[in-house]
Amino acid sequence: MSTFQAPKGTYDLLPPKSAKFLAVREAIAAPLKNSGYSYIETPGFENVELFSRGVGESTDIVSKEMYVFETRGGTKLALRPEGTASVLRAALEANLHKAGNLPVKLWYAGSYYRYERPQAGRYRHFSQVGAEAIGAEDPALDAEMIILADQAYRSLGLREFRILLNSLGDKECRPVYRDALQGFLRGLELDEETRRRIDINPLRVLDDKRAEVQKQLVGAPMLRDYLCDACKAYHEEVRELLTGAGVAFEDDEKLVRGLDYYTRTTFEFVHDGLGSQSAVGGGGRYDGLSEMIGGPALPSVGWALGVDRTVLALEAEGIELDLPSTTSVYAVPLGEEARRVLFGVVTELRKAGVAADFSYGGKGLKGAMKNANRSGARYTIVAGERDLAEGLVQLKDMESGEQTAIALAEVVAAVAARLA
């Protein structure tokens, strides 16, 4: 072991598990690529103001969890704690919304950073795949988002997840509700910090996990009863489209989520095998965010799915992904001459699109065959001086154990044909 270890709250993605991680990321991205979403990449850090304004000062993310630092030049930056604010900032900066094709549909994948108390499923460095549809207000777009996430999880074989759905209202009806809720909450026996929360983010109090708080919340005014007609109709349409698509969901009127910028549709994907870190993904509509960060009105909707927790969910359901072995052919040279010749064969195989690897380090036959086995290769090519003198190599089928002599000049074509 070296003197250094991965920092607290982080972990290294190592083979073979790293292949699973990559497959999950690809599986989440696939339905997006298939539905008009283009790839976007933004920096790992941004001006701290983008998040304090865009995500909201009152959120845990900004007030407690953000990695903030000052550059040598005196600029205050933050490691990105989430993706939406950055993606919208980039879209606005490049005027993507003016290209005349709304909504602008984007997907992304990357690392995010939050200074949290590390525990199973909760890390300080984690990975998300996200999607944003910017500049359109259409219940079908909200439904599309949820359907695509559902499709991604199902394509991985996941079944024990649930979709929680709610509407947070808009700038007309939410303030009225907020007032009513604040009035109710002020009458309760709450600790100092929760009292402060009543002023800055009262909806979050509904989300409090403590039983003694939840007990007092019985009878609290519910947002559902305050939704304006437009919000009600919008939400009903989203629900009908989901039902029409065969996507099951649960209405959860307490679902508020941590970010300030959400309006109307809000949803979360929870997995029942993950204990207290049960949210595998979430998102919603954020009609006001663009204006909050200095852009025009651009109603938008998006989600982010956690890759780490999705991998944990696969493990919880005992799902083994069908990951094909990455190496198809393994070359084992016996002697100097064979080393040069087979190295050439491996290079040719790779050029022909066959995944091939080579026994490096001048190992003997036994050690080399052990590595060939470990590589998962379907075929091994073995050659020694006597074979080469006859212009031959030995092709071994690792499944049947059968060995065939093949002309050196034909081995690339022969292997490619067998693998096809």
* Number of residues near ligand ATP (by CB under 6 A): 19
Nearest-CB residue for ligand ATP:
306
Residue from 10, 182, 216, 277 binding ligand ATP (CB under 6 A): 277
At 369 the three-state DSSP class reads helix
- Quick one: 205 or 304, whose CB is closer to ligand ATP? 304
According to CB under 6 A, which one of 89, 105, 114, 378 is a site residue for ligand ATP?
A: 114
Please state the closest distance from residue 113 (CB atom) to ligand ATP, in A.
9
Site map for ligand ATP, 238-257, x if CB under 6 A?
A: -------------------x
DSSP string computed for 109-140: EEEEE-----BTTB-SEEEEEEEEEES---HH
The contacts of residue 120 (CB under 8 Å, 6+ apart) are 275, 277, 312
Name residue 243's amino acid. T
Q: Which secondary structure element, helix H or strand E, spans residue 356, and what is its range? A: strand 356-358
Is 304 a binding residue for ligand ATP by CB under 6 A? The answer is yes
Tell which one of 50, 280, 346, 349 touches ligand ATP (CB under 6 A). 280
CB of 10 to ligand ATP, least distance (A): 10
- 280 or 381: CB nearest ligand ATP: 280
| 122 lies in the site for ligand ATP, by CB under 6 A | yes
Closer residue to ligand ATP, CB minimum distance, 31 or 121: 121
Q: Which of 107, 103, 91, 121 is nearest to 11 (CA)?
A: 121
Question: What's the closest the beta carbon of residue 130 comes to ligand ATP, in angstroms?
Answer: 8
Nearer to ligand ATP, 25 or 97 (CB): 25
* Least Å from the CB of residue 9 to ligand ATP: 8
Compare residues 107 and 126 and give the one whose CB is closer to ligand ATP. Answer: 126
Q: Is 144 in the site for ligand ATP (CB under 6 A)?
A: no
Structure tokens at 116: 């949290």
The piece of 88-96, 161-169, 275-283, 351-359 that touches ligand ATP (CB under 6 A) is 275-283
Cα–Cα nearest to 97, from 107, 112, 87: 87
Name which position in 37, 126, 234, 358 contacts ligand ATP (CB under 6 A). Answer: 126
Per the CB < 8 A criterion, the answer to whether 333 and 341 are in contact is: yes
Integer Cα distance of 391 and 314 in angstroms: 49
Peptide bond into 103 cis (omega under 30): yes
Enumerate the β-bridge partners of residue 306.
Answer: 128
Query: Does residue 204 belong to the site contacting ligand ATP (CB under 6 A)?
Result: no
Q: Which of residues 222-241 bind ligand ATP (CB under 6 A)?
A: none
Q: How far is the CB of 303 from ligand ATP (least distance, A)?
A: 8
SS3 label, residue 364:
coil
Q: How far is the CB of 248 from ligand ATP (least distance, A)?
A: 19
| Chain mean position to CA 200 | 30
Angle 25-276-323 (CA atoms, 0-180°, nearest 5)? 25
Per CB under 6 A, does 25 bind ligand ATP? no
Task: Give the CA angle between residues 236, 238, 240 to the nearest 5°.
Answer: 70
Residue closer to ligand ATP (CB basis): 310 or 327? 310
**Which structure tokens are listed for 281?**
């993904």
- x-or-dash string of contact with ligand ATP, 58-97, rule CB under 6 A: ------------------------x---------------
Q: How far is the CB of 12 from ligand ATP (least distance, A)?
A: 15
Backbone φ, ψ for residue 243 (5° rounding):
-60, -40
Question: What span, in angstroms and rounded, lies between the C-alpha atoms of 266 and 167?
Answer: 6
The residues with which 267 forms a beta bridge, in sequence order, are: 165, 283
Q: Does 128 bind ligand ATP (CB under 6 A)?
A: yes
Cα–Cα separations (whole angstroms), residue 324 to 73, 104, 157, 339, 355: 49, 35, 16, 27, 11
Binding site for ligand ATP (CB under 6 A): 82, 114, 116, 121-123, 126, 128, 257-258, 277, 279-282, 304, 306, 308-309
